[in-house]
Structure 1
Amino acid sequence: MKLIGSLASPYVRKVRVVLAEKKLDCQFEVENVWAADTVIDKFNPLGKVPSLVMEDGSVMIDSRVIVEYLDTLTPVCKLLPPNGRDRADIKCWEALADGMLDAAVNVRLERTMRPAEQQSAEWMARQMRKVQMSLASLSDKLGEQAYCAGIHYSLADVAVGCALGWLSFRFPEITWRDDHANLARLYDKLSERQSFKDSVPQ
């Protein structure tokens, strides 16, 4: 398998962490989707990363689809329950973490891709409110649990950890560590895992 992605993308990081936790061999090919010579369209008509090129040449897109598939390949470090409510709960954690990222990414693109005079302060404020509301919700859901799903490390922790890491990387002015001590404790614990150490955004 070959993973097409960037070193900065939190969605790509999520897949990289899962690959490492599952001990799956996969070539990582760095692609800058914003470069004039990008070839991402060969792999994903949406022009996004990550894309996972399979052994037969077919391509799987979207981080949520990819990590769910990867978890089926080996029983090592199972990250999702087999079915039912517990599985749906984990996927809801992932959806919230990814949705928070979507809002934050929108703000970053507005700031970096549009001239200052064309940027919408109102629209960016709306997106940042989503980020703050999501952080509060993640913190409330986590409570004093050791991990998002309770006592077991799961895909929920991977998704939340990648989202928090990217916020620190791109939005250091967001004081989520001070505002939500339990999320900071979770992220510090996750950061000790080799899979997280090897995929710090850059």
Structure 2
Amino acid sequence: MKLLGSLTSPFVRKVRVVLAEKKLDCTFVPEDVWNEDKILKINPLGQVPCLVMEGGEAVFDSRVIVEYLDTLSPVGKLIPPSGRERLEVRIFEALCDGIMEATVKVFLEKNWKGRTDAQRSPAWIERQMGKINAALDMLADRVGERNWCTGQHFSMADVTAGCALDYLVLRCPDLDWRSRHPSLVRLQEKLSQRPSFQATRPPQP
């Protein structure tokens, strides 16, 4: 298998963390996400992460990829098979994916070279920041005093939460979420000690 992606993409990192936690062999191929002609040949959506199977079949969207990877090995099961426990993990994943999506939009609106400063929209940035802060409030409330996002076990919820929080540090360093959410600080510090997170830490600017 080959994983195509960017070292700074939180969605790519999410997949890389799962590969490390599941101890699965996969070659990582760095890709320029703006080289659409190249990526479109593999993924019609022109997005990463994209997992290329041994037969050449492409699997895309981080949620689809990680769910498939979780079935490949019994080591460190990350997504419960059914019931309310599975629902809770997937809700956490969706919430944290939403934080990452909004953060990407803020970063691009502020930095994309295809627009001039006059073309950038402060209202759009404010809207996305509102989503981020509301999602952080909910995430902190749900984590509370738990050891992990969904209780006593490390799961996909924690993978995505860790990637989302680290991406906020990378792309929105001025956002002061730590003073408001000590439970998330505790969770981030715990996750940062795992080898899977240390090995996939994005390059710093």
Which TM-score tier does this pair reach, normalised by the shorter chain?
over 0.9
The residue type equivalent to 2:188 in the other structure is Y
How far 1:85 moved relative to its partner? 1.6
How far 1:25 moved relative to its partner? 0.2
Point out the more displaced range, 27-36 or 168-177: 27-36
In structure 2, C-alpha distance between the alignment counterparts of 1:47 and 1:177, rounded to whole Å: 34
Q: C-alpha deviations, 1:139-171, integer Å up to 9, x for none?
A: 000000010010110000000000000100111
Q: How high is the TM-score relative to the length of structure 2?
A: 0.96
Q: C-alpha deviations, 1:79-122, integer Å up to 9, x for none?
A: 01111221111011000000111111111111112211011111
**Alignment gaps of 5+ in structure 2:** none
What is the Cα-based RMSD across aligned positions, in Å? 1.0
Does residue 86 in structure 1 map to residue 85 in structure 2? yes
Q: How high is the TM-score relative to the length of structure 1?
A: 0.97
Alignment of 1:37-186 (within 5 A): 39-113=38-112, 114-186=115-187
The residue type equivalent to 2:57 in the other structure is S
The secondary structure found in structure 1 opposite 2:28 is strand
How far 1:35 moved relative to its partner? 4.2
Q: C-alpha deviations, 1:109-138, integer Å up to 9, x for none?
A: 111122110111111101100000011110
Tell me the residue number matched to 1:13: 13
In structure 2, C-alpha distance between the alignment counterparts of 1:35 and 1:41, rounded to whole Å: 9
Tell me the residue number matched to 1:196: 197
Point out the more displaced range, 38-47 or 55-64: 38-47
In structure 2, C-alpha distance between the alignment counterparts of 1:162 and 1:18, rounded to whole Å: 11
Aligned length: 201
How far 1:179 moved relative to its partner? 1.5
